[in-house]
Amino acid sequence: MPQHPIELLRFNTCGSVDDGKSTLIGRLLYDSKSIMEDQMEMLERSADITGGGQVNLANLTDGLRAEREQGITIDVAYRYFATPKRKFIVADTPGHVQYTRNMVTGASTANLSIVLIDARNGVIEQTRRHSYISALLGIPHIVFAVNKMDLVDWSEERFREIRDEIEDFLPKLDTFSDVKFLPLSALDGGNVVDPSEYTPWYEGPTLMGHLESVHIASDWNLNAFRFPVQWVNRPNNPTDKTLHDFRGFSGQIAGGIVKVGQEVLVLPSGRKSFVKEIQTFDGNLDEAFSPQSVTLVLEDDLDISRGDMIVGTDSLPGHSADISARVCWMEQRPLQAGQKYFLKHGTQTVQAKVISLDSRINIQTYEPEPHPAELAMNDIGEVRLRTAKPLVFDAYTTNRLTGSIVLVEPSTNATAAAGMLRGPEKVYQPEYDDFMI
Amino acid sequence: MSSYHLDHLEYLETEAIHVLREVAAEFERPVVLFSGGKDSICILRLAEKAFRPSDIPMPFLNVETGHEFPELIEFRDRRAEEMGAKLIVRTVDEAIEKGLATATPGQTSRNKLQIPVLLGAIDEFQFDCCIGGARRDEEKARAKERFFSFRDSFGQWDPKNQRPEIWNLYNGRLNPGENMRVFPLSNWTETDVWEYIQKENLEVPNIYFSHARECFFRGDQWLPVPPVHDGNGTPDPYEGARPTEKEEHRTMICRVRTIADMISTGMIESPAESIDDIIAEVAAARVTERGTRADDKASEAAMEDRKKAGYF
């Protein structure tokens, strides 16, 4: 067992076709000794058959038959490796333009995003798109990995050109807590795990060094307590008589910290109570924090069900049926005003209608184009929605869990959009407080 | 490091508990696939953590090929009883009798025959969601698997057309006849599973630990010599799966790393007598876990093909 708690870092890699994403992941796995002999044998076998003898590390993640036939990555592939310092979950997200929805999927849970750039091609449309999506999804840390440096003779000038071009547009995104630029070669391994001998001009860490040390402990929201009730815990016919009247609320803390004795507000009912117990299978806790899964028992017997939110009384969320969101559209059938969808938010699903399409974001310029007729697959835009029941929510930029929605197409049940909520125009107003005083 | 911070096992645990509670809340008739193997042992503990003090609100299901290790069956039955759960067992033999499955002549492995049995059980009990212990790190085709993996009314998986899975908002919506497979351990590795078993002090079947066993070498695997068939005029269930005179066989000090049935499970030589030993062994291993599974070696896309047809 490790001597100290091992942190988990989730990152995604994005780039366009042939930027060498899969090769980079293969390199990280290979150099951290996470590739096993039978995998290596299999790679060598397929290299002899199809690769003209050249081992293709991409075959490690591109597992589907169609992917290997076409030499492309179709879907998000998850890979796992560990070093003595950290454990890593990698989402390898395909770069091809029609698969942007996969990048949103992979990026939604990431702490860090690696945007790959081919040193020969420099910044292309995909680079701007991937940077934008990383910012849109609120990923705190971003790395611009300038790959294939070996093919431009490890030119410092070329690296600086690319960095300058990115730094020109970065202020428009302005959401990252830290940004790194790294010259590397996934193929020969330079600056991936070991420093390259060809970059004496580069003084930063290797990619692995950065992944192992970047500060992620404050990536979770610990400010405002948010607890979407997931499952009402009421034992049926318990043999233990003390459980006869047991009523707990199970869920995963989506933000903040909760303590025994603390006053809480149940939304949308607006009833107040105090936390009596924080239960887990391993015993009761004095306090719990995001993203722990716990069961709360309150002092008062309130009517609470799945979809309700228990929150702290110090910092209140929004409460409204009229919401604005930035959405990434993921369906063949375009998004248009007037359409109805199921909307998932936290632990509830409600019907929602598209009131208006306010803009589509131009991925090249990052400028909004006002009032488009529709959003097609892979488009990103601002929409206004009205929900059949008011949502209790936060701005996505404040809380990734209480500020996110997905839209589901009712006829096919397909997941049609990922949405990031705008901040509420007004927070929840406790109506009866004045009367109670 | 601040005290308001989860280590990797705590993170994986809270993620899995969240997934299990989503299943309980969103599906009408979910079921836990419980084989007695190490991954499903973790699922059971996570279910206890998700639902206690309530009962686990779903039954357990296991599909038997008829070639199981007896130690595993004993463990499975005992564990289900200890947990007060309803255990449903459906077998390939029954399915062959009922005409749901057809044995391929000359093919002793019944791995593929589990597919119609599983689909038959889903139909029989109208299960709308099966919780499995599969992990993405096990196999390439599984690396593309979702937590909530949609299956059409034929039980098929369409890897090119999966629902995007964003944040922790899982889309569990189904039309009648469709089905969801849910994998709470998607993000766990083999090492994570053993570290969790150690941390939680979970019992595992003793075939995971070093023991002496008669094995024979076939393909590139050491396979267990099946139990003696006493005849009585019945056909030998292990016909074709017994060592021939040409095949090397010997008593090995060995254990299993991953369990299928006796025909598909390669034994590894190992002195590992404790969970600590196993964790050290996995850390030092130079072949993957499923490198000891004969069923995956049929072709490079063997797992993808079985999953498309409705495999676990």
**B176 and B191 fall within a common domain:** yes
Determine, yes or no, domain membership for B240: yes
- According to the model, what pLDDT value does residue A344 have? 98
Q: If you measure CA to CA, which chain A residue comes closest to B6? A: A7
**B234 and B176 fall within a common domain:** no
Query: Is there a contact between B160 and A61 if contact means CB atoms under 8 Å apart?
Result: no
Determine, yes or no, domain membership for B2: no
Facing B166 at nearest CB: one of A75, A234, A418: A418
Q: What is the pLDDT of residues A342-392, one digit of tens each?
A: 999 999 999 999 999 999 999 888 999 999 999 999 899 999 999 999 999
**B106 and B245 fall within a common domain:** no
**Which residues of chain B lie closer than 8 angstroms to A306, CB-CB?**
25
**Which residues of chain B lie closer than 8 angstroms to A344, CB-CB?**
169, 171
Q: What is the pLDDT of residues A106-157, one digit of tens each?
A: 899 999 999 999 999 999 988 998 899 999 999 999 999 999 999 999 999 9
Q: Does residue A6 sit at the B interface (CB-CB below 8 Å)?
A: yes
Q: If you measure CA to CA, which chain A residue comes closest to B22? A: A230
> In chain B, which among 176-235 make CB contacts under 8 A with chain A?
186-187, 189, 191, 195, 198
CA A38 – CA B139 distance, rounded (Å) = 12
Instruction: Record the pTM.
Output: 0.93
- According to the model, what pLDDT value does residue A437 have? 38
Q: Does residue A233 sit at the B interface (CB-CB below 8 Å)?
A: yes
Sketch the domain layout of chain A as residue ranges: 7-213, 226-312, 318-421
**B251 and B122 fall within a common domain:** no
Query: Is there a contact between A233 and B51 if contact means CB atoms under 8 Å apart?
Result: yes
Please check the confidence at residue B248 and state whether its pLDDT lies above 70: yes
Query: Is there a contact between A243 and B53 if contact means CB atoms under 8 Å apart?
Result: yes
Instruction: Choose the CATH number for A7-213 among 3.40.50.2300, 3.30.590.10, 3.30.710.10, 3.40.50.300.
Output: 3.40.50.300
**B117 and B236 fall within a common domain:** no
Determine, yes or no, domain membership for B23: yes
Residues A22, A116 contacting (CB under 8 angstroms): no
- According to the model, what pLDDT value does residue A197 have? 95
Tokens of B35: 């084989």
- According to the model, what pLDDT value does residue A14 have? 86
> In chain A, which among 408-427 make CB contacts under 8 A with chain B?
408, 413-415, 418
- According to the model, what pLDDT value does residue B77 have? 97
**B231 and B107 fall within a common domain:** no
**B162 and B119 fall within a common domain:** yes
Which of A60, A48, A40, A38 shows the shortest CA–CA distance to B220?
A38
**Which residues of chain B lie closer than 8 angstroms to A285, CB-CB?**
none
Between A32-41, A410-419, B11-20, B303-312, the lowest mean confidence (pLDDT) is in B303-312
DSSP codes of every residue in chain B = --SS---HHHHHHHHHHHHHHHHHHH-SSEEEE--SSHHHHHHHHHHHHHHTTSPPSS-EEEEE-S---HHHHHHHHHHHHHTT--EEEEEHHHHHHHTS--PPTT----TTTHHHHHHHHHHHHT-SEEE----TTS-TGGGG--SEEEE-TT----GGGPPP-BTTB------TT-EEEE-TTTT--HHHHHHHHHHTT----GGGS-EEEEEEEETTEEEEPPPPP--TTPPPTTTTSSPPTTS-EEEEEEEESS---TTTB-EEE----SHHHHHHHHHH-SS-GGGGBGGGGSSTTHHHHHHHTT--
**B160 and B62 fall within a common domain:** yes
CA B116 – CA A154 distance, rounded (Å) = 57
> In chain A, which among 147-206 make CB contacts under 8 A with chain B?
none
**Which residues of chain A lie closer than 8 angstroms to B21, CB-CB?**
230-231, 250-252, 293
A318-421 has which fold? Elongation Factor Tu (Ef-tu); domain 3 (2.40.30)
For residue A128, which amino acid is it?
R
- According to the model, what pLDDT value does residue A434 have? 45
Q: What is the pLDDT of residues B147-183, one digit of tens each?
A: 999 998 888 888 777 889 999 999 999 998 899 999 9
Q: If you measure CA to CA, which chain B residue comes closest to A258? A: B4
**B24 and B117 fall within a common domain:** yes
Q: How far A370 CA lies from chain B's nearest CA (Å)?
A: 27
Determine, yes or no, domain membership for B3: no
- The domain of B218 spans 206-294
Query: Is there a contact between A37 and B168 if contact means CB atoms under 8 Å apart?
Result: no
> In chain A, which among 138-157 make CB contacts under 8 A with chain B?
none
pLDDT category of residue B301 using cuts at 50, 70 and 90: low
**Number of CB pairs < 8 Å for A and B?**
185
Q: What is the pLDDT of residues B58-87, one digit of tens each?
A: 999 999 999 999 999 999 999 999 999 999
Q: Is A228 helix (H, G, I), strand (E, B) or coil?
A: strand
- According to the model, what pLDDT value does residue A364 have? 80
Q: If you measure CA to CA, which chain B residue comes closest to A243? A: B53
- According to the model, what pLDDT value does residue B298 have? 54
The separation between CA A370 and the C-alpha centre of its own chain, rounded to angstroms, equals 27
Q: Does residue A213 sit at the B interface (CB-CB below 8 Å)?
A: no
- Indicate which CATH number applies to the domain containing B192: 3.40.50.620
Query: Is there a contact between A246 and B168 if contact means CB atoms under 8 Å apart?
Result: no
Query: Is there a contact between A235 and B53 if contact means CB atoms under 8 Å apart?
Result: yes
**B230 and B131 fall within a common domain:** no
pLDDT under 50: residue ranges of chain A:
1-2, 51, 434-437
**B173 and B141 fall within a common domain:** yes
Is A226-312 a domain of CATH 2.40.30.10? Answer: yes
**DSSP 8-state class, residue A414:** -
Q: Supply the ipTM of this predicted assembly.
A: 0.93
Number of compact structural domains in chain B = 2
Query: Is there a contact between A104 and B164 if contact means CB atoms under 8 Å apart?
Result: yes
Q: Does residue A377 sit at the B interface (CB-CB below 8 Å)?
A: no
